[in-house]
Amino acid sequence: MRWREICGVAIAIAVCGFASGTQAQTTYGIGRPATTAEIAGWNIDIGRDGSNLPKGSGSVSHGREVFAEQCASCHGDKGEGGLGDRLVGGQGTIGTPKPIRTVGSYWPYAPTLFDYIRRAMPQNAPQSLSDEDVYAVSAYVLNLNGLVGADATLDAKSLAAIKMPNRDKFVGDARPDVKK
């Protein structure tokens, strides 16, 4: 009995060691290693700072063509919305009774545009656009919102450098906010 208790404590210590997360020891030996190539193929997460943005670039003018072909049927010719969300305008409305939430008025980070278009758009064929086309459409939507010029070409560095107008308007969760 006494010996069992000692064993139990020892096991508990071992489990706690794993829980700290820094042990280089496999607990169950389940799963197989993921290779660098496999991870690169699946990891399409783009950080708000533009981390993991791919090589390549795209221009506003090329984006206009891709948008007309791939996006306008849902989002309107100029991003005014339709079946899909409105993408353009609304700057200055966010703190009013009738806010218009668009990429230009509400989105805090420009690289998220690349992330989202690549992973989820167009809705009928996500992950079908080339990286160049995604850069171009991102540039065009930002241009429609007055955030880059008509002659702009965006790449990883320049996309990440854009400061979105609503960038500093996000705050933490202050709930519970109704006090009794």
Partner 1 sequence: MSSTIRSDDDPVTATRRRFLTAGTAALGGAVVGAGAAAAETDNLPPNVPEWMKAPGEPTGGQLYGTPSPFEKGVVRNISTTLKQYISASSRSPLQDLDGIITPNGLFYERHHGGVPAIDPAQHRLMLHGLVERPLIFTIEDLRRFPSESRIHFLECSGNPGYSKPYGKTASDLVGLVSCAEWTGVSLKLVLQEAGLKPGAKWVVAEGADAAALTRSIPIEKCLEDAILVYSQNGERLRPQQGYPLRLFLPGFEGNMSVKWLRRLHVTAEPVYSREETSKYTDLLPDGTAREFSFYMEAKSIITRPSGGQRLSAPGFHEITGIAWSGHGKIARVEVSVDDGRSWQDARLQEPVLTRAFTRFRLPWQWDGKPAMIQSRAIDETGYVQPTLAELLAVRGENYFYHNNAIWPWRIDDNGEVTNALA
> Cβ 76 to partner 1, closest distance in Å?
13
Which H/E stretch holds residue 154?
strand 153-155
Distance CA 92, CA 86 (A): 15
User: What pairs with residue 154 in β-bridges?
Assistant: 58
Q: Which lies closer to partner 1 via its Cβ, residue 82 or residue 146?
A: 82
Residue 1 within binding range of partner 1, rule CB under 8 A: no
> DSSP per residue over 34-80, as a string?
PPHHHHHHH-----TT-TTPPS-EEEHHHHHHHHHHHTHHHH-TTS-
Q: Is 145 exposed, middle or buried (0-12, 13-18, 19+ CB in 10 A)?
A: buried
Count of residues for the chain? Answer: 180
Interface mask (CB under 8 A) for partner 1, residues 47-86, using x and -? xx----------------------------------x---
Residue 37 within binding range of partner 1, rule CB under 8 A: no
Among 2, 3, 13, 42, binds partner 1 (CB under 8 A): 42
Residue 13 within binding range of partner 1, rule CB under 8 A: no
Among 24, 37, 55, 151, binds partner 1 (CB under 8 A): 24
Residue 12 within binding range of partner 1, rule CB under 8 A: no
Residues 6+ apart with CB under 8 A from 137: 58, 63, 66, 67, 70, 71, 117, 129
Q: Which DSSP letter does residue 164 get?
A: P
Considering only residues 121-160, where is the footprint of partner 1 by CB under 8 A? 123, 126-127
Residue 3 within binding range of partner 1, rule CB under 8 A: no
Q: Which lies closer to partner 1 via its Cβ, residue 78 or residue 167?
A: 167
Residue 31 within binding range of partner 1, rule CB under 8 A: yes
Which positions touch partner 1 (CB under 8 A)?
18-19, 21-28, 30-34, 38-39, 42-48, 83, 94-97, 99, 101, 103, 106-109, 112, 115-116, 119-120, 123, 126-127, 169-178, 180
